[in-house]
Amino acid sequence: MKKIPIVRDGWSIILFFLFLSLTIGICLIQWKTTVLEILEIICISCLILSINFFRDPERTPEVLLKSEQLICPADGVVVGLETIREEYYLRTKMIRISIFMNLFNNHVQRAPYDGRIIAKKYFPGKFLSAFSEKSSLENEQCHLVIQVEANKKKKKIVLKQIAGLVARRVVTFPNEGEKILRGSRIGNILLGSRVDLFLPCDVKLQVKLYQKVLAGKTILGEF
């Protein structure tokens, strides 16, 4: 049986709006009122948006990948691209790529490179707009420190899932000590959010500021 491409955590929301839509639709058969018609339109719209938001399609890269290339971890727009000091773990200058996801983007995150999770840390926090610089410091988020091997050298990258103004839950699949494969699903953020990826400064970037990107398809750069 073919798997329905929907995030598991999204089924409860989808079924809730489906139930409301069917219930109001049955009521409309008996009592055709303007209020019920408006409610039905709202519920069906929310149902369609929920299905679109929680879709989980299979993804393949845009071109055949080289072994040292990094793949994009999230759908959205590159809203930040700078060299900055990573303060939490590695405490060194790194390239930070910030990807903003709106309500219409797919919110499944994927591993940017083969590696092993050497640290995982969840931080409860606020729900500021993901566009705000403060969101990377104050919002609910989960951090993954990933040890990778590129060009026969061990390196570390840091991936941060950051909740946004509407998003209220960060889900992260791999645990500390587990291996991940480039392009594999590593989590999702339930409902506008952001992913920050910290890369070593020797990575040759292949994305630009304000570029639209797709998780598991767009090439970010190369070691």
Count of all residues that appear for the chain in the document? 223
The 10 Å Cβ neighbour count of residue 54 is 22
Closest to 129 (Cα-Cα) out of 100, 106, 150 = 100
Alpha-carbon gap, residue 161 to 177, rounded angstroms: 19
Tell me if residue 193 is catalytic.
yes
The 10 Å Cβ neighbour count of residue 12 is 9
What are the backbone angles phi and psi of residue 85, rounded to the nearest 5°?
Answer: -75, 125
The 10 Å Cβ neighbour count of residue 77 is 15
- DSSP annotation of 8 reads G
The beta-carbon contacts of 118-122 under 8 Å, at least 24 apart in sequence, are 118/145, 118/146, 118/147, 118/156, 118/176, 118/177, 119/89, 119/143, 119/144, 119/145, 119/176, 120/144, 120/145, 120/172, 120/174, 120/175, 120/176, 121/88, 122/170, 122/172
Active-site residue (options: 50, 135, 136, 193):
193
Q: Which residues are catalytic?
A: 193
